Amino acid sequence: MNGEYLNIISLPGSFNCRPVINGKNVYSAVFRSEHNQNLRSGYIPIIDENNRVVSTLGCTEPVYVNDILQPQKQDGSTFIHPHDVCIDMDENLYIPQWNSDKTYPLMLERM
Protein backbone atom coordinates (compact mmCIF):
# COMPACT_ATOMS: atom_id res chain seq x y z
CA MET A 1 0.00 0.00 0.00
CA ASN A 2 3.01 2.26 -0.07
CA GLY A 3 3.30 4.45 -3.10
CA GLU A 4 4.03 7.88 -4.35
CA TYR A 5 1.46 10.12 -6.01
CA LEU A 6 2.80 11.17 -9.40
CA ASN A 7 0.04 13.05 -11.20
CA ILE A 8 -3.34 12.91 -12.89
CA ILE A 9 -3.87 12.45 -16.61
CA SER A 10 -6.92 14.57 -17.35
CA LEU A 11 -9.32 13.39 -20.06
CA PRO A 12 -12.14 15.93 -19.70
CA GLY A 13 -15.62 14.66 -20.45
CA SER A 14 -14.46 11.05 -20.86
CA PHE A 15 -15.70 8.14 -18.74
CA ASN A 16 -12.76 5.70 -18.84
CA CYS A 17 -12.43 2.02 -18.13
CA ARG A 18 -9.27 0.13 -17.19
CA PRO A 19 -6.12 1.78 -18.58
CA VAL A 20 -3.59 -0.55 -20.21
CA ILE A 21 0.13 0.23 -20.27
CA ASN A 22 2.02 -1.04 -23.31
CA GLY A 23 5.57 0.16 -23.82
CA LYS A 24 5.60 3.95 -23.49
CA ASN A 25 1.87 4.34 -24.20
CA VAL A 26 -1.30 4.03 -22.16
CA TYR A 27 -4.49 2.88 -23.87
CA SER A 28 -7.95 3.25 -22.39
CA ALA A 29 -11.51 2.55 -23.38
CA VAL A 30 -13.89 5.48 -22.98
CA PHE A 31 -17.27 3.78 -22.67
CA ARG A 32 -19.13 7.07 -23.11
CA SER A 33 -18.45 10.77 -23.18
CA GLU A 34 -20.04 13.80 -21.66
CA HIS A 35 -21.12 14.85 -25.18
CA ASN A 36 -22.82 11.52 -25.95
CA GLN A 37 -24.19 9.81 -22.86
CA ASN A 38 -25.96 6.99 -24.69
CA LEU A 39 -24.51 3.50 -24.61
CA ARG A 40 -23.80 3.44 -28.33
CA SER A 41 -20.81 5.71 -27.97
CA GLY A 42 -17.17 5.47 -26.97
CA TYR A 43 -13.60 5.79 -28.23
CA ILE A 44 -10.01 4.76 -27.48
CA PRO A 45 -7.47 7.42 -26.42
CA ILE A 46 -3.74 6.68 -26.77
CA ILE A 47 -1.58 8.56 -24.28
CA ASP A 48 2.19 8.95 -24.70
CA GLU A 49 5.01 8.95 -22.12
CA ASN A 50 4.47 12.70 -21.57
CA ASN A 51 0.85 12.05 -20.49
CA ARG A 52 -0.52 13.67 -23.65
CA VAL A 53 -3.24 12.16 -25.83
CA VAL A 54 -1.55 11.63 -29.18
CA SER A 55 -4.41 9.87 -30.95
CA THR A 56 -8.00 8.93 -30.25
CA LEU A 57 -9.57 6.09 -32.22
CA GLY A 58 -13.21 6.75 -33.08
CA CYS A 59 -13.08 10.34 -31.90
CA THR A 60 -12.15 13.88 -32.84
CA GLU A 61 -8.48 14.82 -32.89
CA PRO A 62 -6.98 15.71 -29.50
CA VAL A 63 -6.58 19.48 -29.15
CA TYR A 64 -4.61 21.17 -26.39
CA VAL A 65 -5.09 24.82 -25.40
CA ASN A 66 -2.54 26.16 -22.90
CA ASP A 67 -1.44 22.55 -22.26
CA ILE A 68 -5.00 21.49 -21.33
CA LEU A 69 -6.76 18.79 -23.37
CA GLN A 70 -10.09 20.03 -24.68
CA PRO A 71 -13.14 17.73 -24.47
CA GLN A 72 -13.38 15.34 -27.40
CA LYS A 73 -16.41 14.00 -29.25
CA GLN A 74 -17.11 10.64 -30.80
CA ASP A 75 -16.79 10.89 -34.59
CA GLY A 76 -19.51 8.46 -35.59
CA SER A 77 -20.32 4.92 -34.49
CA THR A 78 -16.95 3.16 -34.65
CA PHE A 79 -17.38 1.71 -31.17
CA ILE A 80 -20.41 0.70 -29.13
CA HIS A 81 -19.64 1.10 -25.42
CA PRO A 82 -16.00 -0.16 -25.51
CA HIS A 83 -15.03 -1.57 -22.15
CA ASP A 84 -11.39 -2.57 -22.42
CA VAL A 85 -8.31 -2.62 -24.63
CA CYS A 86 -6.12 -5.67 -25.09
CA ILE A 87 -2.83 -5.52 -27.01
CA ASP A 88 -1.00 -8.48 -28.56
CA MET A 89 2.72 -8.95 -29.29
CA ASP A 90 2.34 -7.26 -32.72
CA GLU A 91 0.61 -4.27 -31.08
CA ASN A 92 -2.75 -5.07 -32.65
CA LEU A 93 -5.64 -3.86 -30.50
CA TYR A 94 -8.63 -5.89 -29.38
CA ILE A 95 -11.63 -3.90 -28.18
CA PRO A 96 -14.35 -5.80 -26.30
CA GLN A 97 -17.64 -3.93 -26.13
CA TRP A 98 -20.41 -4.18 -23.56
CA ASN A 99 -24.11 -3.89 -24.32
CA SER A 100 -23.26 -3.77 -28.01
CA ASP A 101 -25.89 -5.97 -29.63
CA LYS A 102 -23.74 -9.08 -28.98
CA THR A 103 -20.88 -7.97 -31.24
CA TYR A 104 -17.59 -9.82 -31.12
CA PRO A 105 -14.55 -7.90 -29.88
CA LEU A 106 -13.05 -5.74 -32.60
CA MET A 107 -9.50 -6.32 -33.80
CA LEU A 108 -7.60 -3.27 -35.04
CA GLU A 109 -4.50 -4.29 -36.95
CA ARG A 110 -1.41 -2.14 -36.53
CA MET A 111 -0.38 -0.63 -39.87
Is pLDDT of 26 > 90? Answer: yes
Query: What pLDDT, on the 0 to 100 scale, is given for residue 21?
Result: 94
| Higher pLDDT pick, 92 / 6 | 92
Is pLDDT of 32 > 90? Answer: no
Dihedral (Cα; 52, 56, 61, 62), 10-degree rounding: -20
pLDDT digit string, tens, across residues 50-94:
999 999 999 889 999 999 999 988 887 788 889 999 999 999 999
